[in-house]
Structure 1
Amino acid sequence: MRKIKILILLFVVFISNISNINAQSKAVFLTDSTSWADSVLLTLSEEERIAQLFIVTAYSNQGDAHKQQITDLIEHYKVGGLMFLQGGPVRQAKLTNYYQSITKTRLMIAMDAEWGVAMRLDSALSFPWPMTLGAIEDTNLIYQMGEEVARQCKLIGTHINFAPVVDVNSNPENPIINNRSFGENPEKVGRMGVAYMKGMQDNKVLACAKHFPGHGDTDADSHKTLPTVNHLKYRLDEVELVPFKKLINNGIGSIMVAHLHIPVLDDTKNLAVSLSPKVVDGLLKTEMGFTGLSITDGLNMKGVSDFYEPGIVDVKALLAGNDVLLYPLNVPKAIEEIKKAIAKNQITQKEIDARCLKILKAKQWMGLDNYSPVNLEKVADEIITNETELLDKKLVKSSLTLLQNYDDLLPLKRLDTLRIASVSIGESGADFQSMLSNYAPTTHFTISEKATTSEQAVLLNKLAEFNLVIASVHKSNANAWKPYKIDKKTDILLQSIALQSKVVVSVFANPYSLNSFLFINNFDALLLSYQNSKVAQEQSAQAIFGGIGMSGKIPVTSNHYEINS
């Protein structure tokens, strides 16, 4: 009898665990009541149900002709959503209110706001890029960022953020992911992605993990071509797929499928995984148990548009198992081709209805069953708050990484014995130099990365009278895709400075920029600040003098440092 009781108890525990796994893996928007979604579906014609699958692109910095084009797509074709690109917060909010006022079924408004709405909009604060965030140990800060990004999105009427990027960046030459990745450690990328996702979804903004099944080890941009990933399946399981599994098990609402050719998953010539039933229906939905919205990457991108015409590519994306068609090049043509596919029984109306219903369920979860227009008076005043700025400073401070510190040079001590010069190389380092002067008398110099040998010699002569030089290398902070490599001439200059005095080097650039240095052992201290923002410059200067600590860990491997150094 006792054995029977134990077996029953073990069975109950087993069933409970299975239930917990299933509950965790269900997409967040499938846990609520769906009565509104069910009722709306009944009001839509078959063509309108097809149209709900489209998210088209919109801008708030273009003129009346563009506005009319979007109006036509909403009024005549009944598209399901808009993805806003460039513009401004107030202008976008105004257009959102207008577009919502003319639609039969409320629009799902989407954005790429990977580091906040400032990724696409002016007049907003840009949080650090994910590569910078990858240096942070405290995932609670990433959760807080997710909360703040959700607040910004809701403020301007946005319901889904195409973030986080959970590609594991293992290729320093990756031209399109790189700074957009949390790093090269799959487990940490997953933890950071889950924290960011929860911060948003706990505040009713749907997250979207991208770019499935992993765009981190490519040296080509799928906007311009079809990159090939030649890894075996076991490698994908151990690296690329790890973060996606974590997010699926924590209720991610949507996943964006990349335009990549991965022969081990589907070796069909020139076929992106975004158009492969083996990958979308097979790997993502069946094998990995994903129940949320499967969203294509932009169908305008060369990774698919070079091989399939508008309309045909949309049909192939649906046949692969996708729920949402992003950035279609020709909506009327796409609807026409999908109707033909239904008539040929390539896809059934029942399948279309199921995907439409899933989208409507997501809209209900987003609050579109109880829609109210954006309060335009609040947008300009609240897009940046004191709390926004404070969080930005916390994120930057927590990312600062002290990679090298011979003889505990930092923080600087016995300032009365030091004759300090600072040398700013490359882009502007004015905020860094200004903050240095707040701590100790400092003589400042600036020099171009392209400085000639004679110009460098003049500077070296001037630096000879100082016993400590703080040299800072500044790369562009304009966007995450700007070149980060440090010029060979800069390396020569820094090595020359190190031969004649103690030198602290602060690098305001991507961690892979360290690969540009032939040697680093000559530097007495090396601080990695990741980005050339005003906050990063000011906080790095404070850290050098001990005003704040440095707890960051480098999120990728360089030629000189292992990950997590």
Structure 2
Amino acid sequence: MSIHDSRIGQLLLTGIPSTELDSATAARLKKLQPGGFILFSRNLESPQQLRKLCDDLRDLSLVEPIITIDQEGGRVSRLRYIGHEPPNAQQLRDKNDPALIDRHGKLTGQILRLFGINLDLCPVLDISYDDQADNSLKGRTYGTDAQQVITNAGIFNRAMRKAGTLSCAKHFPGYGPAECDPHEFLPIITKSKEQLLETELVPYTALMPELDSVMTCHANYQAYDPENERLPASLSHNIVQKLLRDQLGFDGLAITDDLDMGAILNEVTFEQAIQGAIKAGNDMVMICHRLEMVEQAKIHLEALPNPTVHDALIRMEKFKKKLPKPDHFTLEKFKAINEAIWQLRVDTLGETLASQLSVEDGKRSPVELY
């Protein structure tokens, strides 16, 4: 039996359709044996339901699964559908109180662990050069320069990990200079290698020992792929293997951003995206919304030669040894943490602004509408 038969599903991070697993979906997932699951607002109905869903996903997995979510704060807070919305990174940055950021990290780690979610897809390490830019980052950045990002994101990251939830830094190498939203189009970034090393890459090099995983992004960096100006970073061997791994020395888990996004689908075939992501040096391909595409992705991965997937499987195995066990769930525990999140919101924004939640008007990035 080759590793393709038994373990290839470990390289898949999949979304699931709904708030519970019907027998057909459970059977498909049992056969797929994906390495992880990513949750969205469509998967949330109540605190008890979410914990049961996470338990059910564990039960059908032969290997302890990654269960992950985007819980950053502000509009990118999936849990706001069943609880309070924490302040976002920019609001915490503007308040300029390290103790509040520490509380945000601690509470985020605690609430996710209570549900059995073991990896949070944050902190965002992008630098904001324009807080109003239409590049998917509005409200999500911890700094307007590299040092501010390192300080603030570092506080959040340490507090969340101490509370028992693993972290994923994103979006490598950095969306800060992007002029469009990768959910829809491929951003082209023209900074030189020297400029990137002095700006975008600094938070990654500084925080590298404290990052459990890194998400690779869908933007083209001309300095690293001058021969292919339409190649997204997530599919670039020069960026994932040569830059992130060989040059910066990252040996943790590398996960692609969703491969079902415009920046990918408009540029390459699905087969090229799946195989290219692993060839580039990623360990996990993320497909958020269509289970049939995940099943197709597994077939594309099985077509890769053993040596290509070997390193990814080794890193995955190493990562999974760090996965924290869920906390014992009670509704009382949830209510206490949820109340503390509301207090954090008030302490950051004041009573009046705290009551004004993020609005899903569809005019911002689709990142919040998934």
Would you say 1:338 and 2:301 are equivalent positions?
Answer: yes
- Equivalent position of 1:243 in the other structure: 203
1:381 match? 335
Q: Distance in 2 between matches of 1:188 and 1:235?
A: 17
Q: Kindly indicate whether the alpha-carbon contact (under 8 Å) linking 1:170 and 1:184 is maintained by their aligned counterparts in 2.
A: yes
Question: CA 1:45–1:289 in 2, change beyond 3 Å: closer, same or farther?
Answer: closer
* Superimposed CA distance per residue, residues 467-510 of structure 1 (whole angstroms, 9 cap, x where no aligned partner): xxxxxxx9973259866xxxxxxxxxxxxxxxxxxxxxxxxxxx
2:218 paired residue number:
259
TM-score (norm 2): 0.87
Offset at residue 152 of structure 1 (A):
0.5
Q: Higher RCO, 1 or 2 (CA under 8 Å, sep at least 6)?
A: 2
Alpha carbons of 1:337 and 1:59: their partners in 2 closer, same or farther (altered >3 Å)? Answer: closer
The residue identity in structure 2 corresponding to 1:229 is: I
Which of 90, 102, 105 is the aligned partner of 2:63?
A: 105
- Out of 297, 316, 323, the position equivalent to 1:359 is 316
CA distance in 2, matches of 1:137, 1:174: 24
Structure 1 residue runs of 4 or more that deviate by more than 6 Å after TM superposition: none
Give 1:390's aligned residue.
343
Confirm or deny that 1:205 pairs with 2:165. yes
Output the CA distance in 1 between the equivalents of 2:167 and 2:196: 23
Which residue in 1 is equivalent to 2:236? 276
User: What is the deviation of 1:58?
Assistant: 2.4
Once the two structures are TM-superposed, the CA of residue 383 in structure 1 deviates from its matched residue by 4.8
Deviation at 1:144, TM superposition (A): 2.2
Bigger Cα Rg: 1
1:117–1:264 CA distance, 2 compared to 1 (3 A)? closer
CA distance, structure 2, for counterparts of residue 294 and residue 147 of structure 1: 24
118 and 186 in structure 1: CA distance in 2 versus 1, 3 angstrom threshold = closer
Gaps of 5+ in 1: 1-42, 343-348, 398-430, 434-473, 484-565
State the distance in 2 between where 1:480 and 1:230 align. 31
Q: Which amino acid aligns with 1:394?
A: D
Does the 8 Å contact 2:87/2:348 carry over to 1?
A: yes
TM alignment of 1:106-505, pairs within 5 A: 106-115=64-73, 119-121=77-79, 122-171=81-130, 172-248=132-208, 250-267=209-226, 268-327=228-287, 330-342=293-305, 349-367=306-324, 375=329, 377-378=331-332, 381-385=335-339, 387-396=340-349, 432=352, 477-478=358-359
RMSD across aligned positions (CA)? 2.8
The one of 75, 79, 90 aligned to 2:30: 75
CA distance in 1, matches of 2:213, 2:361: 24
Distance verdict in 2 for CA 1:228–1:353, change over 3 Å: same
Matched letter for residue 274 of structure 2: D
Q: Is the 8 A contact 1:257 1:296 kept in 2?
A: yes
- Residues 58 and 83 of structure 1 are in contact (CA less than 8 Å); yes or no, is this contact kept in structure 2? yes
How far apart, in 1, do the equivalents of 2:24 and 2:215 lie?
Answer: 26
Shift in Å, 1:101: 1.5
Checking the alignment, whether the CA contact within 8 Å between 1:90 and 1:379 is kept in structure 2 is no
Report % sequence identity. Answer: 24
112-121 or 207-216: bigger deviation: 112-121
Q: Deviations over 1:153-180 (max 9, x none)?
A: 0011100000111110113323410211
Corresponding residue pairs, total: 355
Q: Is the 8 A contact 1:257 1:274 kept in 2?
A: yes
**Gap regions ≥5 residues in structure 2:** 365-370
Given residue 159 of structure 2, which amino acid in structure 1 is its aligned partner?
G
**DSSP-derived class of the 1:297 partner:** strand
